[in-house]
Amino acid sequence: MLQNSKEKRRVESTGEDWHGKPLQARPGFLIRRLHQIHVALFMEECAAESITPVQYSILTALEHMGTAEQIALSSAVGLDTTNVADVLARLERQRMVKRRMSPRDKRMKVVSLTETGRALLLRIDAGAARAHERTLAALSPTARARFMRDLAHLVEYNNDVSRTPMGLR
Amino acid sequence: MLQNSKEKRRVESTGEDWHGKPLQARPGFLIRRLHQIHVALFMEECAAESITPVQYSILTALEHMGTAEQIALSSAVGLDTTNVADVLARLERQRMVKRRMSPRDKRMKVVSLTETGRALLLRIDAGAARAHERTLAALSPTARARFMRDLAHLVEYNNDVSRTPMGLR
DNA sequence: GGGCATTCGTCCTTATACTGATGATTGCCG
DNA sequence: CGGCAATCATCAGTATAAGGACGAATGCCC
């Protein structure tokens, strides 16, 4: 059932007794809560423009890639293709993004930022930065850096979990 | 707009340049991904029973509290009351949970575990534990403990962000 | 070059999550 | 005791997220 290319070591039971512990001691619970909190902070800081963290991720990825097929975007932001299509439809409705059929491969759609989208990114930047900083504000700069390193490590290690086609790169 | 009882210090701009950095260097992105990953691992480990992490959280909270009004559950698991009602409706449909009007206060509903729900919790325990351990598997035991401490600290610090009525206690 | 597995986008369904609004009930204050 | 603000659950609406299925297009293999 595992069989990843990386061939993970078996998770040997550390005998950790999650059952007895309160929710607050469980990784899954805390991660969900922190995610919730960051989204709330982001929405608060960016209330002026109506944009969500995921939309921001997609716009940012698009800015870096210049132009991309939906499947590439899906891989870049770690989202299901279904979900990417969904978010892109909303972004297109708001004129942040353009989609055209690829002339090379008629199965694909090529996505690119519009001027409106590029302008939005610039307006959003400061708010997004504040949201990120407030999310980590409780930690000292040292602890913050360490936490980010661990976080990146955890994500990279299990990067191929979930539907994301080729895993995230 | 902030004005929490705690009176947070202003987030002084550390001048962090998130804009130039790739998504992988942004806290929000990594937190979302890790959440995604944990959910996927949980679903994989608990595929036998059809249950989600949030449903598991609610059942667990209910087990600890014995019996509770929806508003108390909402506070315990850090979810919107709307959302709690939603999840409870699904759990009730699967006979995991009972809801009755409170005789004391006819606005409230009292929720409790059924035998089916209690049995499910026992069956799920090992899988949930494996999911939690796999989520953190990339870190050494030392780093894992430190990461959990930081995570708890971050959540506790911003606990009152989001709609959750009284904040989580 | 004709079949056929693969790929890409989309549709349908289900489950979190939050906001805003509403209806029922309660407790409090005069 | 009569009104009125606050509380609790719910409803409607929107946005992530994933799974399953499907049609169109592609490319590869014989």
Q: What is the mean pLDDT of chain B?
A: 87
Picking from A54, A118, A147, the residue whose alpha carbon sits closest to that of residue B154 is: A147
- B3-10 long-range contacts, Cβ below 8 Å, gap at least 24? B4/B160, B5/B160, B6/B160, B8/A137, B9/A137
DSSP B43-74: HHHTTTS---HHHHHHHHHHHHHSEEEHHHHH
Domain span holding position B95: 26-157
| 3-state secondary structure string across chain A | CCCCCCCCCCCCCCCCCCCCCCHHHCHHHHHHHHHHHHHHHHHHHCCCCCCCHHHHHHHHHHHHHCEEEHHHHHHHHCCCHHHHHHHHHHHHHCCCEEEEECCCCCCCEEEEECHHHHHHHHHHHHHHHHHHHHHHCCCCHHHHHHHHHHHHHHHHHCCCCCCCCCCCC
Chain B contacts of A16, Cβ < 8 Å? 129, 132-133
pLDDT tens-digit map of B73-116? 999 999 999 999 999 999 999 999 999 999 999 999 999 999 99
How does residue A161 score in pLDDT terms, banded at 50, 70 and 90? Answer: confident
How many angstroms away from the CA of B102 is the closest CA of chain A?
A: 26
Picking from B60, B114, B129, the residue whose alpha carbon sits closest to that of residue A15 is: B129
CATH at residue A40 = 1.10.10.10
| Partner-chain residue, chosen from B11, B64, B130, that has the shortest CB–CB distance to A134 | B11
How many angstroms away from the CA of A100 is the closest CA of chain B?
A: 25
Chain A contacts of B130, Cβ < 8 Å? 11, 13
Going across the sheet that includes B67-69, the strands are B67-69, B109-113, B97-101
How does residue B15 score in pLDDT terms, banded at 50, 70 and 90? Answer: low
Q: Which nucleotide is nearest to A101 (CA to C1')?
A: C9
CB contact under 8 A, A158 and B41: yes
Asked whether residue A14 carries a pLDDT value surpassing 80, the answer given is no
130-149 of chain A touching strand C, CB 7 A cut-off? none
Rounded Cα distance between B3 and A149, Å, is: 32
CB contact under 8 A, B27 and A162: no
CB contact under 8 A, B157 and A136: no
Q: Decide if B162 is inside a domain.
A: no
CB contact under 8 A, B138 and A156: yes
pLDDT tens-digit map of B41-70? 999 999 999 899 999 999 999 999 999 999
Q: Decide if B71 is inside a domain.
A: yes
Asked whether residue A156 carries a pLDDT value surpassing 80, the answer given is yes
How many structural domains does chain A have? 1
- Cβ of residue B94 lies below 7 Å from strand C: no
Q: Decide if A18 is inside a domain.
A: no
pTM given for the model: 0.87
CB contact under 8 A, B27 and A151: yes
How does residue B4 score in pLDDT terms, banded at 50, 70 and 90? Answer: very low
Q: Decide if B89 is inside a domain.
A: yes
Q: Decide if A17 is inside a domain.
A: no
What is the pLDDT, as a whole number, of residue A3? 36
HSE-CB for A157 with a 13 A CA cutoff: 19
- Cβ of residue A166 lies below 7 Å from strand C: no
Region of A66 (left: φ > 0; alpha: ψ -120 to 50; beta: rest) is: left
How does residue B7 score in pLDDT terms, banded at 50, 70 and 90? Answer: very low
Q: Decide if A3 is inside a domain.
A: no
Q: CA B154, C1' C16: Å apart? A: 22
CB contact under 8 A, A135 and B60: no
Token pair 């972004």: residue: A91
Would you state the structure tokens that stand for residue B88, as one six-digit string?
């409870």
How does residue A61 score in pLDDT terms, banded at 50, 70 and 90? Answer: very high
How does residue B168 score in pLDDT terms, banded at 50, 70 and 90? Answer: very low
Q: CA A94, C1' D14: Å apart? A: 15
Picking from B112, B141, B159, the residue whose alpha carbon sits closest to that of residue A29 is: B159
What is the pLDDT, as a whole number, of residue A32? 97
What is the pLDDT, as a whole number, of residue A143? 96
Nucleotides of D under 7 A from a protein CB: 7-13, 15-21, 23-27
What is the pLDDT, as a whole number, of residue B14? 57
What is the pLDDT, as a whole number, of residue A138? 96
How many angstroms away from the CA of A149 is the closest CA of chain B?
A: 9
A34 within 8 A of A88, measured Cβ to Cβ:
no
Rounded Cα distance between B120 and B62, Å, is: 13
- Cβ of residue A155 lies below 7 Å from strand C: no
Q: pLDDT above 70 covers what percent of chain B? A: 84
- Cβ of residue B105 lies below 7 Å from strand C: yes
Q: What is the mean pLDDT of chain A?
A: 87
Q: Decide if A14 is inside a domain.
A: no
What separation in angstroms does the CA of B149 have from each of A30, B11, B154?
A: 10, 22, 9
